[in-house]
Chains A and B, each alone.
Chain A
């Protein structure tokens, strides 16, 4: 898993190819209610013919049989559907697939390494028993990956103290910071304390690795 220092901007650059207005990605007439949509999901390129109403979440679950991302509320109120879009965490239930044409998506199925080595966060979640029913877990994991990247890139949170807000730089993740940054992911089993420990552990490991990398030529 790359540890980005700066979360890339949401969405790729406009897909070039200036053309006559208004148009759809493949130039179909604007009355069409379906489009060809290209998505790269967990490193695999997909070309799909999708009804415009289909969300990214339903694309993953119903069209690509990637059911790791969960539907908890379908309205951006629970976080179970969280995936990484262009490296940033997002609620996939509120994203229309057609609007993501050309985007890179990572789901929980894509967190482990190519040899099935678990992501440090996945290992930490198992070590700390950071889930019970498991339904919010994929969203928690993707959210935690995104949150650690955001912290590394210096994104503040509601829990960030005034002094740290004024001076940008990588954010130190106290338990309070982790709690706030992961509050977009509800867990009804109440695994929060274990989730915080898991993310704090994995975050510290990642930070140590990053620090080690800096001094190594």
Chain B
């Protein structure tokens, strides 16, 4: 870790100014990923602009019934918030499926979105990685890549995004609010916030230099919609997803057809993977097991598994089909969550 300057910002504008004034700086939230990467030498900021004490730690109900989650709300507080638990249990579940109690106490909403891949080659300075060092190559492609992407990867990068929370946000049609300086903000759909690697794997997200995540906005939940987050991992806790799925399902109680479905996968791609093809097939359809399987297969037909990770396709298919079955009551096991 090289020495760095430290600035504690007390306002958004102050943070943006400090960022501009210090080339090569990084915003510091909870730091659970950034400090980790600094120790590894992956991140070498000249200055840290500490935004963790900005007044962005509020969860506020919006007039339209949605929720505004400040960027510095800690993951544990977000998961425990009564309105999140009652209206967006999917989000609580996703958060609680990630990391550990002590990490969730520190990690922020904004930081969770901006966390970087856990690809071992990205973390190891002695191996090539286009994300860490553009143009150096991809160590994972020729190396061991059991945990890597099956969807949307490129010849330059096969990393996955590690967040559980972001998968839930993608399924919930959340938006990410960004402060761009001089009082300007913009909003980006959570599902569009993270990028596919293409030929610029160094850019994880669509965030522009100096922009600060200020909030996540959750739309009001559809009455009667049910949701679920399921994650498969190598140990029972404290492990990243091999694959995960977030589903929000709104069924017409009259004819049992799908009014709306949101299906997002984690652990399969460089970003939370919103399964648009599957959603389109299921919308207006009766979600019987056969239809669901066909829809999920249509989505996964786009996958290009690598030597070590083809298992992710049946795993994702199982997860999605089972989750939807559980939500429609077709599941032989437990009833659908409210």
Contacts and interface: CB of A to CB of B under 8 A. Distances in A.
Direct A–B contact present (CB less than 8 angstroms): yes
Interface of A: 7, 9-11, 13-15, 18, 21-25, 30-33, 35, 51-53, 55, 74-76, 79, 82, 85, 88-91, 94-96, 98-99, 101, 143, 146-147, 150, 153-158, 160, 162, 165-166, 168, 179-186
A53 B311 CA distance: 41
Contacts of A157: 96, 101
A7 B17 CA distance: 33
A6 to B, nearest CB: 10
Q: Which of A15, A55, A157 has the most CB of B within 10 A?
A: A157
Nearest to A139: B102
A154 B36 CA distance: 30
A98 B103 CA distance: 19
Which interface residue of A7, A76, A162, A168 has the most chain B CB atoms within 10 A?
A76
Contacts of B9: 21-22
Contact of A23 (B7, B52, B76): B7
B141 interface: no
B238 A184 contact: yes
B50 A90 contact: no
Chain B facing A: main interface SS: mixed
Interface of B: 1, 3-11, 13-14, 17-18, 21-22, 28, 30-32, 35-36, 38-40, 47-50, 52-55, 57, 74, 76-77, 79-80, 82, 85-86, 89, 92-93, 96-97, 99-103, 105-106, 236-238, 337-338
A52 B53 contact: no
Contacts of A82: 102
B80 A156 contact: yes
Q: Which of A53, A153, A179, A182 has the most CB of B within 10 A?
A: A53
Contacts of A153: 80
A53 B76 contact: no
21 contacts: A7-B105, A10-B105, A13-B53, A22-B22, A22-B49, A30-B6, A30-B18, A31-B5, A52-B5, A74-B39, A76-B36, A89-B105, A90-B105, A94-B35, A99-B6, A147-B101, A157-B101, A158-B93, A162-B338, A183-B100, A184-B102
Contacts of A155: 76, 79-80
A33 B36 contact: no
A11 B52 contact: yes
B102 A95 contact: no
B195 to A, nearest CB: 26
Contact of A162 (B17, B74, B89): B89
B89 A146 contact: no
B3 A51 contact: yes
Contacts of A186: 238
Contact of B18 (A7, A22, A166): A22
B76 A150 contact: yes
A183 B236 contact: yes
A184 B40 CA distance: 21
B85 A18 contact: no
A90 B100 CA distance: 10
Contacts of B21: 22, 30
B10 A158 contact: no
Contact of B96 (A53, A55, A88, A158): A158
Most B C-beta atoms less than 10 A away, residue of A31, A79, A183: A183
Given A11-B53, A99-B50, A53 B106 contact: no
